[in-house]
Amino acid sequence: MVRSFSKLSLILASVTLLSVAIGSSANAAMVTLYDSDFTTADGFTEGADINGIDGWTAQVQLDSFNVGSNGEVQFANFVRGYNAATAFAVGDTIEITASVKSIGGNNPGFDANIFSLGLTSGTDLGTLGNEAGVLLGGQGSNFRLATQSNAGRTDAGTIDTAFHDLTTSITKSATANQFDVTGSFNGVSLTPFTVTNAGLYSASTVNTVIFSQGQTNVGGIALDSLNVTVTAIPEPSSMALVGLGGIGMLVRRRRR
């Protein structure tokens, strides 16, 4: 009777250990890929093109202003820039948060511009676009990205007076070529949607991208900060091996 109880205890302990090991796979590690306030501490210079600074690749329209302890970057007309190339495995989530506002009296509500935040698999600044992410625009804006569905677009309203937080979280789905996208603007959640993009899905690495499209001489957009993180899900097989190893230790101890 005592021996049976010991076997039962061994089984229960083994199952518990394995469950904890596998369950801990949900405790994915978050890694910061990029975090900047566009200050002198990050290498930015007043009025200077940010191309080549702090890992940025961008067009000349993207310049740094008000640098020091609290900087920002401003750009007008159109811009394409990217940073933070990273591997992106199935189940991983990349989250991008930008503090953004429109500048210039002719662009109070993104009526003539759009601003998008997301991921791209490309590095060609001539054709670089947002392949999965969110998009800010006004009712009067007639600009669209061919690779971005209208589901990712939200009306910005008038955001000249202060900076506002725009966030997008992009998860690489187990479904082939599919990404699950969520977002928020000023803390209010946007409607989740999916993006199908075979090129982005098969890419060995992806880049964080900012993209703005607008009419000539209508004002621009400013960024006060940008943060990019990736949350990677541990391989279930490795977690199972941890659990099985623990069971093996218990079995050996029991045999002694």
Q: Per the domain annotation, does 80 fall within a domain?
A: yes
> Which residue has tokens 């601003």?
115
**Number of structural domains, the chain?**
1
Q: Per the domain annotation, does 6 fall within a domain?
A: no
**pLDDT computed for residue 171 by the predictor:** 95
**pLDDT computed for residue 141 by the predictor:** 44
Q: Per the domain annotation, does 7 fall within a domain?
A: no
Alpha-carbon distances, residue 218 vs 27, 41, 76, 112, 144 (angstroms):
46, 31, 8, 7, 17
- What CATH number is given to the structural domain containing 198? 2.60.120
Which segment of 2-11, 39-48, 190-199, 223-232 scores lowest on mean pLDDT? 2-11
Query: Over the stretch 125-181, which tens digit does the pLDDT of each residue have?
Result: 666 667 888 877 655 444 433 334 444 444 444 555 678 888 889 999 999 999 999
> Which residue has tokens 């625009």?
137
Q: Is residue 131 within 8 Å of residue 63, measured between CB atoms?
A: no
Q: Does 44 score more than 70 pLDDT? A: yes
Q: Per the domain annotation, does 8 fall within a domain?
A: no
Alpha-carbon distances, residue 60 vs 34, 81, 102, 225 (angstroms):
21, 10, 18, 19
**pLDDT computed for residue 143 by the predictor:** 40
Query: Over the stretch 79-124, which tens digit does the pLDDT of each residue have?
Result: 667 776 788 999 999 998 988 877 765 455 555 566 778 888 877 7
Q: Per the domain annotation, does 48 fall within a domain?
A: yes
Per-residue pLDDT band for 237 (boundaries 50, 70, 90) equals very low
**pLDDT computed for residue 148 by the predictor:** 42
Strand partners, 153: 135
Is pLDDT larger for residue 102 or for residue 239?
102
Per-residue pLDDT band for 232 (boundaries 50, 70, 90) equals confident
Q: Per the domain annotation, does 19 fall within a domain?
A: no
Q: Does 251 score more than 50 pLDDT? A: no
**pLDDT computed for residue 72 by the predictor:** 77
Q: Does 42 score more than 50 pLDDT? A: yes
Strand partners, 184: 167, 189
Range of the domain at 201: 27-237
Q: Does 198 score more than 50 pLDDT? A: yes
Q: Per the domain annotation, does 127 fall within a domain?
A: yes
Does pTM surpass 0.85? no
Q: Per the domain annotation, does 79 fall within a domain?
A: yes
